[in-house]
Amino acid sequence: MADDREESLEKRRARLEAELATKRVEAGADDASEARAEVSRKGYAQAMKLSSEFIAAIVVGAVLGYLLDRFVGTAPWGLIVLLLLGFCAGVLNVLRSAGVVAHPLEGNDDKK
């Protein structure tokens, strides 16, 4: 009777170990999919940041150009020039944020 009981315990223990092993495999798959989702979210956040910086620079250039034209009377040249400057500033901001171009004060190591 004690042997039947020990055998029953061994069978249940083996079954539980098998179930735990499958749960661990499933948990590993869930962790991998969560890691992929995290990378995707970070990429989306970076894209939104870069696009908003670019659009903001263009809008600021256009507004300043429009205001310059209204108060100085240089229409349409103020808008054209400052819109182009805003575009260039937007491209430069995007390149800096992406890490392609160094920030202005990082490269000044040679102080004289």
Across 24-46, average pLDDT: 80
- Per the structure block, which two tokens stand in for 37? 């989702």
Residues in Cβ contact with 99 at an 8 Å cutoff, skipping those fewer than 6 apart: none
In whole angstroms, what separates CA 37 from the centre of its chain? 12
pLDDT at residue 34 greater than cutoff 90: no
pLDDT for 56 equals 96
Other residues' Cβ atoms within 10 Å of the Cβ of residue 65: 23
pLDDT at residue 109 greater than cutoff 80: no
Question: Which of 40, 52, 42, 35 shows the shortest CA–CA distance to 93?
Answer: 52
